[in-house]
Chain A
Amino acid sequence: MPIYALQNIIVLCRARFVVNTLDGNAIIMKVFLSYSDYLRNFEVFLRAFDPSESNKLIILTHDKWVNVHPVVLAIIAALGSKIGSENITIEKITATSGHYLSRMGLFKMLGKKSPYSIKEHEPAGRFIPITQIKSPEEQSQFVTEMIPLLHLKPNQADSIKYIVGELVRNVLEHARTKDGAFVAAQYYHHTNMVRLGICDAGVGIRKTINYSWHAPTDLDAIKLALTPGITGTTRREGGTGENVGAGLFFIKSMAMVARDYFVLYSGTGLYKLIKRDKRTKGFPRLHADPQDDKHSDTNDAPKFPGTVVGIDISLDQTSEFRVLLAAIRDVFIKAVRERKKARYKKPIFI
């Protein structure tokens, strides 16, 4: 048995992963949805995940319980959009929480009949089912309609709208895919948190960044994309009339301040902001260079054909969203100033 297959079996025993196997001419991608597929465990979820060449998808679930971060559902929806409904199989679900997948619209999005009967407007539901967004108009409609679905108060809504507005726009503008963005979210009452996933099966960050920069690897490209003032649209300082390279830096910084997880995954690159220790009091120091943040990263993740963003947004931290933006603004401007200064012509003393 090849070593990679052995590794896959080991991961299977840990009950959360995706694996490819060969079946005749088809390369089958199996997605296993477990009971703890959160951003904290994202690397575990990705082990043995190799979706780049797959043309069939089989979805398996834990036999007792299914509990996944919305970003996992967005990933499946984006991959499913490339493969087509006829090439997707959802194995029989025995988990008692399996109806969650139906409520989140997974069957509908994949063009499959749901085995569950779900009331359309279940009052306990505070979630946004998987939604495909293909145009700026659909994005505006989504941003307007999502807040009532999450039952959020007005003062909690702005940060969510801001993050979704920026991330979906990134997909529509840079991903170069007709399928657009796949978005899903869930509010968790006990932690007062919204978990949000946005995914596309487009060209990926490296291709976008390398339009103007040279990123040798996907991880290099991710780090450039997180750096203040770097945009794939142009190398010109100040960007263009439409882009300046601030969106991802602002969102990563929001996650940093709120002690939230933030994952950016594209190609073989993965960057995950790690939660700050709760014992660390006060406003954290924000860094312009993503390398300086407490994070984990790899350039050896399974190659994903597109871009994935997962973020947990604590609503306890967002009452002073304006103050948070002001702090991020200061770091952004300082970074821009320092980069500009680094390019100053130096006098020659003889």
Chain B
Amino acid sequence: MDTITVSIKEKAGSFAENKDVARELRIKHIIPALKKNKTVVIDFSDVTGATQSFMHALISDTIRKFGEEVFDKLRFKNCSPLVKEVVTIVAEYMQEF
């Protein structure tokens, strides 16, 4: 399985709130990898939490572009309970639209 890993702590710090960073990760790493049919592991090691707007900027466009099937290719690793909840929020509402 062809996989890339995107580390959040390295770019966004221990609390992920900078949407510019999220956007850059999405445009430069996540979407290009998905276009090549790679699996993208988003690693939240040592990230205690994230804002909804950060997570939206990180993954909403992938759902819009690739449909809900994108979740077959996205993996969320080492998530704190709070990060898990914020990922779930964005994943759920984006599938409503």
Contact = CB atoms under 8 A, between A and B. Distances in A.
Contacts of A326: 85, 88
A161 interface: yes
A322 B26 CA distance: 25
A136 B21 CA distance: 9
Contact of A154 (B20, B48, B57): B48
B18 A322 contact: no
Given A169-B19, A169-B51, A241-B64, A336 B13 contact: no
Contacts of A336: 93, 96-97
A250 interface: yes
B86 A143 contact: no
A169 B17 contact: yes
Interface residues of B, number: 34
A340 B19 CA distance: 27
Contacts of B42: none
Interface string A135-150: 0110110011000000
Contacts of B49: 158, 161-162
A271 B35 CA distance: 45
B31 to A, nearest CB: 10
Nearest to A238: B97
Interface in A216-257: 229, 237-239, 241-244, 246-247, 250
Given A239-B60, A241-B61, A332-B93, A247 B15 contact: no
Interface string A307-325: 0000000000000011001
A244 B15 contact: no
